[in-house]
Amino acid sequence: KQEVTQIPAALSVPEGENLVLNCSFTDSAIYNLQWFRQDPGKGLTSLLLIQSSQREQTSGRLNASLDKSSGRSTLYIAASQPGDSATYLCAVNSGYSTLTFGKGTMLLVSP
C-alpha cells in the first residue's frame, strides 16, 4: 500500500526566504507525482506535475524534483512571498489516475 509522508508538517518563514518542502513515498512504482496548493477551506490547485521519467519541473519561482528510486520529491520555492501562504500537498499516481496524498505542509510567510 502506497504511503506518502510530508515533512515538515508546518513551516513559518519571513518573506524573501528560499525554502524546501519534502515528500517521500514508500512504493517507487509510480507514474507521476504532483504538487498541489490548497488555501484554507478551498479546493486544490495543481502547481507542478512530474512524470516518472522526469527529474524535475519548473514553473516561475517553483521547482520540483523527483528521485523515484529513493522515493523522494522536493518542492523548492524561491524568494517566498506572503501570498505563498497555504498548505502544499504532494500526491503520487500509482495507477488508474488515482492519487495518494500526503497530509501536507502548512506554510506561513510573514511580511
74 belongs to the binding site for another protein (CB under 8 A): no
| 77: its cell numbers | 520555492
CA distances from 28 to 60, 71, 96, 101 (A): 28, 5, 16, 14
According to the binding rule CB under 8 A, does residue 89 interact with another protein?
yes
Q: 71 in the Ramachandran plot: left (φ > 0), alpha (ψ -120 to 50) or beta?
A: left
Mask: binding to another protein, 21-60, rule CB under 8 A, as x and -? ----------xx-x-x----xxxxxx--x-x---------
Footprint of another protein on this chain (CB under 8 A)?
4, 31-32, 34, 36, 41-46, 49, 51, 89, 91, 93, 95-104
